[in-house]
Structure 1
Amino acid sequence: MTVEKDKTVIQPPKTILRVLHLTFNMGIGGTEQVIRQLVQGMESEGVESEILCMDGQIGSIGETLEKSGIPVHKLARKQGFDRSLIKAIRKRVKEGQFDVVHCHQYTPWIYGWLASLGTQAKVVFTEHGRFYPDRYRYKAMFVNPIMAMLTPAVVAISGATREALTRYEFIPKRKVRVIYNGIAPLCRSEFESKKIRNELGIPEKAFVVGTVSRLDPVKNQQMMLRAFRAFSEVHPDSYLLMVGDGPDKAMLMALAEKLGIDGRTIFTGFINKPEHHLSAMDVFLLSSHTEGTSMTLLEAMSLGIPAIATRVGGNPEIVVDGITGILTDSGCAADFSNAMSRFAENKQLCEDFSKASSKVFTEKFTQKRMIQSYIMVYDGSELLSTP
């Protein structure tokens, strides 16, 4: 008796949409991480994606995606208003027969909107965050309402970002849809987190607060260092772990030395996959002057790490104050320090906030939820405005 082998062939998902993501570049940053999550997560949903970088550089995330088979293109934007860039984008839109041009940030929206005029492509604009301090641009008062009216979908990554688009960009509030950033959850490894602590010279029972962030003025890490100094005077067995790089690194290291906390403040530099460094923290810190939807804050939540964050931008929409973390005013180092003490002195509080963080993450901030929301925007199966 012979048994016939199963000849069933698993067919790849049928392509339902072709999407071109238009952005500045695909270096290291929150916007780039969102694009990566969308591109990789939508493959199984039948969405073919390509990325077009405007500023002449693909960047490290772009290079990684390119190696995985995702087409990543680059153009070199000239100074001033570059009309030739519009023509180059339009050429790619037509050649690629894209259904959607997804423009990430304001300037790519301008170029993508103009380049897509007269093509079959539907334009989607996502605002990922705002400059600090925000300001009015009165030219926008005349241009943006027209562009928004002729753009099928405008998306903000938080309610605060939506309010900023309405206030500073004169885009009608009813036009802007809020879609929170989402990520694939990280996996905690106690073995790896202990290994990281050991490698960094952190004692096993030390209380560790930390951040994963670009070391940049907008992140307000000077306040974080001053708050940690006050906290560590009462809790000398504590450490501050700062994962990241940026223009403020040398200044922050000098400030740590000046404050006398350099022995317990660890600057790791940029870490490509920081999940084990995050897992080594008892509490995650975010001291920014402004935020949209912080990707590293979501990563910490996915690992069940409670957070102390400033009450700015989208942070209050992510951190449930008194449930998953503690919110403080952005300029108050004393409140930030006191919040650290509350966690250090109450182990049960840490455990309760940890469970709540994981629960809220699963309910609101997963990659799957974000992808489903964007697909509904792409194919028009959901109303594109919110009340």
Structure 2
Amino acid sequence: MPNRIKILHLIKSLGRGGAEKLIPETALVHDQTRFEFHCLYFYHQRNNIVDELEAAGIQVHLIPSGNLGLFFQVNKVRSFAKQLGIDIIHAHLPWAGIMARSVGNKLKIPIVYTEHNTWERYNTISYWGNRMTFKKQDIAIAVSNEVALSMQLNSMIDPYQRGGRMKIKVIQNGVNTDVFRRLPSLRLSAVAGGGQKADEAISSVHSTIDKLNITLDERSEAISSLDSSLRLSATADKCLKSDAGSPNFKFQILNLQIPPNAHVIGIVAVFRDQKRLWIWIDLALKILQKSPETHFVLVGDGEWRSRLERQIEESGKSAHFHLVGVQKQVIPYLSIMDIYLSTSEFEGLPIAMLEAMSCEVPVVATRAGGIGEVIQHGVQGFLSEIDEYGELVDYCVQLINDQDLHQSMSLAARERVVSQFSMKRMVEELEGVYESVIAK
């Protein structure tokens, strides 16, 4: 593929955060006959998405380094970019942004930087390093209007820099709505030892599977995997196409033991401070007092996990909580959720929330960051002010008790993402940015 524009995504690490996940997800939608993608990262961790980047056609490279060591890698990155003939460096988050501006300034490579959070939330070193170098890039992309405002307010009093070339453009995050669709979910009770109830549950599952448009071999594989003590999600993954172009159906067992009629409230997140998941657990316990059959699913991992597990254990309600860890495929988990609950203190524009909405899950959340730009209170879900998170309990209970309201919000959630926050729209805007900086 001659004359493709070579884009180098620069990022500190490739964990499973929203910023990292956007790199392969956008690449899958980009026109790769026009763009060639590389990704360079520095900090290698166990739960990473390298395989997902490679599957998306991105060439992945590693220069091992910690935070402070990044300052000593500028020459290596500069040589790397020159050797590959990189046309544009697209950096994500402050540390990579600082690095990219240093590299691009000497090589005269256009620099695109995506800011995923408001500046007030960064630590002192990240904040000032980002601020002091910020005007040495071509375009700064903000994932929400609030992030854009934060960048403007924090850089407006900086002295004029000769040759400064910074522009701010808002490109709100998007989600691939063809991929993120709600899947048929078949809930099996935990029935010890089988018996008539287990037989009836399995018979019901067989009947539903028989109605799916899949091959005999796929149907046989799904049925043989059943177990009466599990909750089954029959995953009709229409996003993955075989060479023949037919849907590639997958069946995934979720070992959650959730009763078939229980309502499920969930979240997909990295377990870090900004998510305030200890508040999430506290609200869940209050919801249980009003709706005792509810179950709660947390997808993800992080530094807060052990403290959350201890909080749940001390509550005596462990049977209602399911911490399933990091999952490469989140669609089956989103498909069993009835409500997506978020208690964040701050956000950019959370990808996982958009994915949940695309899977017809209404949102109950604090009005953090770009969340308030997506959710219309009372339409796709309910919002509270960041410090008024206690209100979220009654909102969840209202959705549990009012099925008509839940149904209307579920459909409105997906419609909102399809019409305003699609990955196709996001990628078109990104390609416009790439072409504009190359034209200079």
**Do the aligned residues in 2 keep the contact of 1:93 with 1:121 (CA within 8 Å)?**
no
Corresponding position of 1:160: 146
Alignment CA distance shift 1:171-1:191 (3 Å) = farther
1:188 aligns to 2:182 (yes or no): yes
Letter in 1 for 2:37: S
Once the two structures are TM-superposed, the CA of residue 259 in structure 1 deviates from its matched residue by 2.5
Shift of 1:70: 2.4
- 1:109-139 deviation line (CA, Å, top 9, x unaligned): 1111111124352110111124774577798
Q: Does the CA-based 8 Å contact 2:94-2:127 persist in structure 1?
A: no
Q: Distance in 1 between matches of 2:171 and 2:27?
A: 16
- Percent identity reads 23
The question of 1:368 aligning with 2:424 is answered yes
Listed one character per residue, the Cα deviations across residues 49-98 of structure 1 (whole Å, up to 9, x for unaligned) are: 10011335696312332366521111133663655411111112211212
Q: 1:306 offset after TM fit, Å?
A: 0.3
Output aligned runs, 1:109-128, within 5 Å. 109-128=97-116
Quick one: which of 37, 49, 62 aligns to 2:50? 62
1:40 maps to: 28
1:1-387 alignment to 2 at 5 Å?
A: 15-44=3-32, 46-55=34-43, 60-66=48-54, 69-77=57-65, 80=68, 82-130=70-118, 133=121, 140=128, 144=131, 147-170=133-156, 175-185=167-177, 186-191=180-185, 195-196=232-233, 199-380=255-436
Letter in structure 1 aligned against 2:393: S
In the alignment, the residues of structure 2 paired with residue 278 and residue 337 of structure 1 have an alpha-carbon distance, to the nearest angstrom, of 20
User: Is the 8 Å Cα contact of residues 303 and 358 (structure 1) preserved in structure 2?
Assistant: yes
CA change 1:133–1:89 in 2 (3 A) is closer
Instruction: Give the whole-Å Cα distance in 1 for the aligned partners of 2:321 and 2:31.
Output: 41
One-letter identity of the residue aligned with 2:313: E
Counterpart AA for 1:241? V
Provide closer, same or farther for how the CA distance between residues 318 and 94 of structure 1 changes in structure 2, counting only shifts above 3 A: same
Distance 2:376 2:392 in 1: 16
CA contact (8 A) 1:291 1:313 kept: yes
Aligned partner letter, 2:173: N
Secondary structure at 1:27 match in 2: coil
* Letter aligned with residue 75 of structure 2: K
Alpha-carbon distance between aligned partners in 1 of 2:18 and 2:288, rounded to the nearest angstrom: 30
For the Cα contact (< 8 Å) 1:324–1:354, is it kept in 2? yes
Give the stretch that moved more between structures: 40-49 or 264-273.
40-49
SS in 1 for 2:91: strand
8 A Cα contact 1:58 1:73, kept in partner: no
Distance (Å, rounded) in 2 between the aligned partners of 1:83 and 1:199 = 45
Tell me the CA shift for residue 246 of structure 1.
1.3
Q: Aligned equivalents of 1:310 and 1:344: distance in 2?
A: 18
Deviation of 1:39 after TM superposition, in Å, equals 2.5
- Which AA in structure 2 matches 1:104? H
Change (3 A) 1:383 1:192: farther
Gaps spanning 5+ residues in structure 2: where? Answer: 159-165, 188-230, 234-252
> Normalising to structure 1: TM-score of the pair?
0.86
Contact 2:117 2:347 (C-alpha < 8 Å) held by counterparts: yes
2:296 match: secondary structure: strand
Q: Give 3-state SS (helix, strand or coil) of 1:266's partner.
A: strand
Gaps of 5+ in 1: 1-11
- The C-alpha deviation readout for 1:262-297, integer Å capped at 9, x for no partner, is 221111122211111111011111111111111110
Distance in 2 between residues matched to 1:25 and 1:308, nearest whole Å: 30
Q: How far off its partner does 1:329 sit? A: 2.6
The aligned amino acid for 1:309 is A
Equivalent-residue separation in structure 2 for 1:216 and 1:350 (angstroms)? 29
In the alignment, the residues of structure 2 paired with residue 211 and residue 311 of structure 1 have an alpha-carbon distance, to the nearest angstrom, of 16
Partner of 1:8: none
CA RMSD of superposed structures (Å): 2.9
When normalised by structure 2's length, the TM-score is: 0.76
Deviation for aligned residue 1:304: 1.3
Instruction: Specify the code of the residue in structure 1 equivalent to 2:19.
Output: T
Write the distance in 2 (CA, Å) between the matches of 1:138 and 1:297: 26
Secondary structure at the residue paired with 1:284?
Answer: strand
Q: Is the 8 A contact 1:304 1:355 kept in 2?
A: yes
- TM-aligned CA deviation for residue 179 of structure 1: 0.6
